[in-house]
Amino acid sequence: MVEGTINGSLLATPAVLGASGDLAKKKTLPALFSLFRLSLLPKNSRIIGYARTKMDDKEFHGKFADNLKDGKDGEKEEFLKICNYVPGAYDQDDAFQNLNKEIEKKEKEIGSKEPQRLFYMALPPNVFTVVAAGLKKNCYAEKGHNRIVIEKPFGKDLESCQEMMGELKKLWKEEETFRIDHYLGKEMVKNILLMRFANPFVEAGLNNQLVDNVQITFKEPFGTEGRGGYFDEFGIIRDIQQNHLTQVLSLLTMERPATFSAENIRDEKVKVLKNVPAIKEEDVLIGQYSAANGKPGYKDDDTVPKDSNCPTFAALALWVNTPRWQGVPFILKAGKALDEGKVEIRIQYRDQGKGLFEEIPRNELVLRIQPEESIYAKISNKKPGLESSLVPVELDFKYNARMTDYRSPEAYETLILDALKGEHSSFVREDELNESWRVYTPLLHAIDAGKIKNEKYEYGSRGPQSLNHFIGKYGYDRR
Ligand code: NDP
Ligand code: BG6
């Protein structure tokens, strides 16, 4: 790509639908600003915010300007100049026609002959379909490119996802649709395939001959304060495991793709997911946090029903029945209001050296996704000295110590740039979604029906008391 161009064209008109909202202000517009100041978004682009709230450009800028970081002198002001706001309804043709007129006006200003239209839906799911229909009918450019970006939640189970995707499919082609899972834009997640297939010793160590168990963990140190009502409809498994952690799982377990093309990668991800059976009820531990350490419990939120069985923590064991992974448990853990914030993949290897050594700790390979990306391996090494004994040590590679010339972009920067370029590999294909929902739906229905009960855990703790026992059942050895 030539600097400052997208698909060789100097023109882009992203429109952010739901521009008055939280996602637009915290993620979408700041990511567009980053691309702008890095000259990855052409300087002559035009950005249009659209939502129902009546406001002028200045009020619109006031919503997100404080979130525009790292701009050099004048860059922020330059960026705000290209951001305009158009108020309008989500279900009226004339409102969308008005938006279309604005887009055409901007395209004329920048001399666009082949429009690069990107519609970013920073909207709640109840309006996805109606907005997608309004845009298709009224704002679709005949020439050039039209792309639509949508955010989770993609339904609540297999059936509702298929229903939503079915509706969208009638309007927008698969190659025009970009389903975001923002974990796919994270630097370490993007590293998984490269690291695996560029390093023979890493790839050779990923199989059931050597690996005993794998944990993929998401921990947040804060609760659902302020979002309780929304969260209660979904719960942690729909919020984190079904999408973010399953994406990580498929990148870690898929076979080598023929090329790094979007379709080759996603074909392999789907193939491996097809080998994951639906999660069994006995392979699950769920929890809900209670008040502790001066922090409120989940149910202290007025928007949460007092009898809610919604999990804010879950540990699940999944099985990948491919020849490479058969028999290795993958424990996917996620929780809110825990003792720390951390996302990582921890691969624990089988016991070694029986007969030669006394007890020695197992090898582990850890890929830290956040905070502070790092990769480290736990190995056993001779303790320096006159005796011949072992000591556990770490081979440690921290990005902030060794990659100081580089910057890890925000996930949304990477993803919006890819969407502008029409690059699909970090977006979720419809069949991936179907396979993932197939794995989770029976379990989610059982939890919704109250068949599986939550164990309480204290705000700020590691999770439910029986977590160690649960992980231990699948072979994890904490030595
Ligand atoms: P908001 O609740 O802030 O909604 C965005 C905008 O949509 C609002 O400003 C409002 O604009 C309009 N809106 C809100 N509720 C309704 C409604 N019931 N009917 C019609 N319009 C409505 O959502 P977020 O910005 O937080 O999230 C947008 C999408 O992104 C969601 O799908 C969410 O799940 C997803 N997401 C959000 C993340 C975040 O950090 N916020 C992270 C990951 C995903 P107006 O009234 O002006 O039209
Ligand atoms: C979102 C979830 O998808 O991811 C939130 O809805 C969660 O509940 C967030 O807090 C975590 O994202 P990140 O990038 O902060 O790890």
* Tokens describing residue 156: 């609540």
Task: Show the DSSP H helices in 381-426 as ranges.
Answer: 399-402, 411-421
Mean pLDDT of 221-243: 92
Q: Which atom of ligand 1 is nearest to 182's Cα?
A: 43
Assembly ipTM: 0.95
The pLDDT of residue 251 is: 98
Q: Which atom of ligand 1 is nearest to 87's Cα?
A: 47
Non-local (6+) Cβ contacts of 98 within 8 A are: 86, 88
Q: Are strands 364-370 and 374-382 parallel, antiparallel or unpaired?
A: antiparallel
Q: Most confidently modeled of 37-41, 235-239, 389-393? A: 235-239
Q: Which atom of ligand 1 is nearest to 25's Cα?
A: 25
112 pLDDT higher than 80: no
* Tokens describing residue 25: 């202000």
- Give the pLDDT confidence of 235-269 residue by residue, as tens digits: 999 999 999 999 999 999 999 999 999 999 999 99
**Residue 162, number of CB atoms within 10 A of its CB:** 17
> Of residues 182, 244, 424, 445, which has the active-site annotation?
244
Ligand 2 centroid, distance to 307 Cα (angstroms): 25
The number of helix segments (H) and strand segments (E) in the chain equals 16, 15
Backbone angles phi, psi at 437, to 5 degrees: -65, -35
The pLDDT of residue 11 is: 57
- Give the pLDDT confidence of 432-478 residue by residue, as tens digits: 999 999 999 999 999 999 999 999 999 999 999 999 999 999 999 88
Best residue among 16, 17, 22, 148 to mutate for probing ligand 1, ranked by most atoms within 8 Å of CB: 22
Angle at 458 between CA 454 and CA 460, to 5 degrees: 125
Task: Show the DSSP H helices in 110-224 as ranges.
Answer: 128-138, 158-171, 187-198, 200-204
CA–CA distance, 359 with 301 (Å, rounded to integer): 48
Residue percentage of the chain with pLDDT more than 70: 97
Q: Which atom of ligand 1 is nearest to 18's Cα?
A: 6
244 among known catalytic residues: yes
Sorting pLDDT into bands at 50, 70 and 90, what band is 6?
low
Of the candidates 274, 298, 315, 334, which has an alpha carbon nearest to the alpha carbon of residue 443?
315
1 pLDDT higher than 50: no
Cβ of residue 20 lying under 6 Å from some atom of ligand 1: yes
Sorting pLDDT into bands at 50, 70 and 90, what band is 187?
very high
Cβ of residue 239 lying under 6 Å from some atom of ligand 2: yes
Ligand 1 centroid, distance to 133 Cα (angstroms): 18
Q: Most confidently modeled of 221-225, 310-314, 417-421? A: 310-314
pTM: 0.95
Which ligand does the CA of 64 lie closest to?
A: 1
Sorting pLDDT into bands at 50, 70 and 90, what band is 117?
very high
Ligand 2 centroid, distance to 12 Cα (angstroms): 28
Contact 418, 427 (CB under 8 A): yes
